[in-house]
Amino acid sequence: MSKTPILEAIDVTKRYGTVTAVDHLNLAVPKGVCFGLLGPNGAGKTTLVEIIEGIIAPTSGHVLYQGRPRAASFFERIGIMFQQTALLSFMTVHETLATFQSLYPHSIDIEELIRLCYLEDIRKQLNDKISGGQRQRLLLALALVNQPDLLFLDEPSTGLDPQARRNLWDIVANIKRQGKTIILTTHYMEEAEHLCDIIAIMDHGQMIAQGSPAQLIDQYTEGMHIDLPAECMVNVSELPAADITVLDERAVIQVHDMNRVVQRLLAAGVDLTHMTVHSPTLETVFLNLTGRQLRD
Amino acid sequence: MSFKRLWAMLWARNHEFFRDRAAFGWNFMFPFLLVAGFAVIFGGDEPKDFKVGIFPCDSVQAAYDVDECLPPTLKGVRQVQYLGFENLEQGLDKLRHHRIDLLIEKGSPPFRYWVSNSSPKGYTVEKILIGNLVDDADRVMARQEVVTARQIRYIDWLFPGIIGMNMMFSALYGVGFVVVRYRKNGVLKRLKATPLTAFEYLTAQMLSRLFVLAFTLIILWVGCDLIFRFTVEGSYVDLLLIFLLGSLSLTSLGLVIASRGTSEEFSNGVLNFITWPMMFLSEVWFSIEGAPHWVKLTAKAFPLTHMLSAVRKIMNDGATLADVSVELAFLIGFTLLFLIVGASLFSWNK
């Protein structure tokens, strides 16, 4: 990895009237990584990404690409898959790719792109006649048409069924292997954990945590969780080094010393047949950092 | 500027236009419908502008010609169509609702007649009929001279107006609506994330619409010419140049409307706000000769006014480009002004 970040956001702020969507935020993305940006709804992720992409201007602060302010050629070097984009009407998949190919001075061979994104079967279909998964693959292909160094994927698998999602992940994993830098925003923790090398968590327009998935789990979670039917806990008076929460007739026990807790439960005559043990995940990190309050 | 990118956008827009069967069908059929409409309206007898009722004359039930009810002195008045009514009440009801312009009681002179004082056509037809009845040579204002030169038919005067109106609606809605829709659904945002510039995109939209306008113009012109046999006194090349400049200025105005906003409803309101006054004041349907000065001045603010003025001068009077230099200057000026304003206001984003 090169020491100069491929992308830097320095003290970036974006205000809409009295609302501050991004608040004096700093960010550095190393070259060749998949950088995940997580945050609850309204955290400012999309605004930040659109500032970095050059779609909207920040109120203050600046963005550097390969250590320099972005030039007009920046759009030739990046690929973007937006969260919500309509496509040119009455065009086939192949024609759409060819049209976008014409917009760039350097581009990938369309046949290669079609193979990479599994678009062979729908190449002659009109854009508005393809399924959600096919559409996402086409949008990804459009983002790759100029062989970008830096790829932005904004919630690429939202609304896809599990098969289509896995299929998209395979394509992204392939792109990663080519050494491209990816900035991924997502609501799916599993997706972030599966694809990202570095994850940054945003809330209220600020960056609140950053690191590899393992680092974040290690830093922002404690122990493991034991899940038991709540009625099993009636005769249990006290557990060593554990916090107990009862949710929906289930007792969730946060455990620091698994052996001692299990011994104590057995000693109290608790039936462990229906016990499940959970390791902390990125979702635990996310909820610990951003809270459990519903965001719209 | 990259011609490759411009061509890609032009190609994409034209594909969209020709593949959208509903929109293409309408755009293709509309000129034919206009031609057919013209043929029906102007292809038959001389149009009757005034309707005069006569009673008692139940020509419908009795199945005889209304002319049989007319006294000889009222027959043969040009532009007056007579309608028979059973009685006074029936005739007055039609007069009150402006279904007829004047009502006459059948009989011998002096005729009793009724006219609505809120009807301008009633006043006019009253004067026409009185003039037809009075044989007073001393009061004739001047001696009638027959114009021997080629007469300009009403259709010759009206036809450029209809073409201009069609171009205006096509240019403004065809560009304004499409760009606003693309901004609303995010296509513009996606295009912004490419090296495509606003100038290239807008130029492609403009050229695509010019192509559509030229296509429609040719169909309409050839179709109407086959039926009405227009005589163009001036040069066809000059005429084409004026149509081209007119199309450019109207399309550029469409780009100004399309430069901002994501609401198709709001854009529709703005388009109505512009097109309706332009249609009435640019002399599409009628001349504004004799209208107050401020009305004439307002009309000058519309590119359609200058396009129609130049087209009519070339078509009907054999004017050259030098004769229509003022109109040319206005059309070029409007095009540049609208392009500058449209390009400077243009936003890819919502």
B177 Cβ under 8 Å from any chain A Cβ: no
The answer to whether residue A268 is domain-embedded is yes
Q: Looking at beta carbons, which residues of chain B come within 8 Å of A89?
A: 16, 20
Cα(A261)–Cα(A274) distance, integer angstroms: 16
Are A199 and A125 within one domain? yes
pLDDT at B199 over 80: yes
Cα(B263)–Cα(B260) distance, integer angstroms: 9
B226 Cβ under 8 Å from any chain A Cβ: no
Give the pLDDT confidence of B300-348 residue by residue, as tens digits: 999 999 999 999 999 888 899 999 999 999 999 999 999 899 888 998 8
What band does B27 get if pLDDT is binned at 50, 70 and 90? confident
pTM of the entire structure? 0.76
Domain end residue (candidates: A201, A218, A235)? A218
Are A135 and A248 within one domain? no
What pLDDT is recorded for position A241? 59
Cα(A33)–Cα(B248) distance, integer angstroms: 49
Are A165 and A249 within one domain? no
B190 Cβ under 8 Å from any chain A Cβ: yes
Are A200 and A275 within one domain? no
Are A200 and A71 within one domain? yes
Are A171 and A143 within one domain? yes
CATH 3.40.190 location in chain B: 50-139
Domain count along chain A: 2
A151 half-sphere exposure, CB direction, 13 A CA radius = 29
- Rounded to the nearest angstrom, the minimum Cα separation between A55 and chain B is 7
Are A273 and A136 within one domain? no
- Rounded to the nearest angstrom, the minimum Cα separation between B175 and chain A is 15
Domain end residue (candidates: A168, A196, A218)? A218
B21 Cβ under 8 Å from any chain A Cβ: no
The CATH number that applies at residue A253 is 3.30.70
Helix B264-281 vs helix B236-258: crossing angle, to nearest 10: 140
The answer to whether residue A292 is domain-embedded is no
Between these two residues, B277 and B158, which has the higher pLDDT value? Answer: B277
Strands A242-247 and A250-255: antiparallel
Are A202 and A246 within one domain? no
What pLDDT is recorded for position B25? 78
Nearest CA in chain A to B14: A90
The answer to whether residue A2 is domain-embedded is no
Contact A58/A12 with Cβ under 8 angstroms? yes
B199 Cβ under 8 Å from any chain A Cβ: no
A73 Cβ under 8 Å from any chain B Cβ: yes
The CATH number that applies at residue A199 is 3.40.50.300
Are A254 and A209 within one domain? no
What pLDDT is recorded for position A1? 47
| Region class of A204: left (phi > 0), else alpha (psi between -120 and 50), else beta | left
Q: Looking at beta carbons, which residues of chain B come within 8 Å of A84?
A: 186
Exposed (0-12), middle (13-18) or buried (19+): which is B277, by Cβ within 10 Å? middle
Give the pLDDT confidence of B133-163 residue by residue, as tens digits: 766 555 555 555 554 555 667 778 888 888 8
Are A235 and A138 within one domain? no
Q: Which helix (H) or strand (E) holds B96?
A: helix B88-96
Once rounded to an integer, what is the mean pLDDT over residues B185-202?
Answer: 90
| Region class of B113: left (phi > 0), else alpha (psi between -120 and 50), else beta | beta
Give the pLDDT confidence of A276-289 residue by residue, as tens digits: 888 888 888 888 88
The answer to whether residue A287 is domain-embedded is no
Cα(B242)–Cα(B235) distance, integer angstroms: 11
Mean pLDDT of chain A: 88
Per-residue tens of pLDDT for chain A, all 296 residues: 457 899 999 999 999 999 999 999 999 999 999 999 998 888 899 899 999 999 899 999 999 999 999 988 899 999 999 877 788 889 999 999 999 999 999 899 999 999 988 899 999 999 888 988 888 889 999 999 999 999 999 988 887 888 888 888 988 898 888 889 999 998 888 899 889 999 999 999 999 999 999 899 888 887 788 888 888 877 777 777 567 877 778 888 888 888 888 888 888 888 888 888 888 888 888 888 887 555 65
Give the pLDDT confidence of A35-55 residue by residue, as tens digits: 999 988 888 998 999 999 998
Contact at CB, B193 and A56, closer than 8 angstroms: no
Are A230 and A255 within one domain? yes
Look up the domain containing A206 and give its range. Answer: 7-218
Contact at CB, B8 and A80, closer than 8 angstroms: no
Class for domain B50-139, per CATH? Answer: alpha beta
Cα(A27)–Cα(A201) distance, integer angstroms: 11
Are A70 and A183 within one domain? yes
A119 Cβ under 8 Å from any chain B Cβ: no
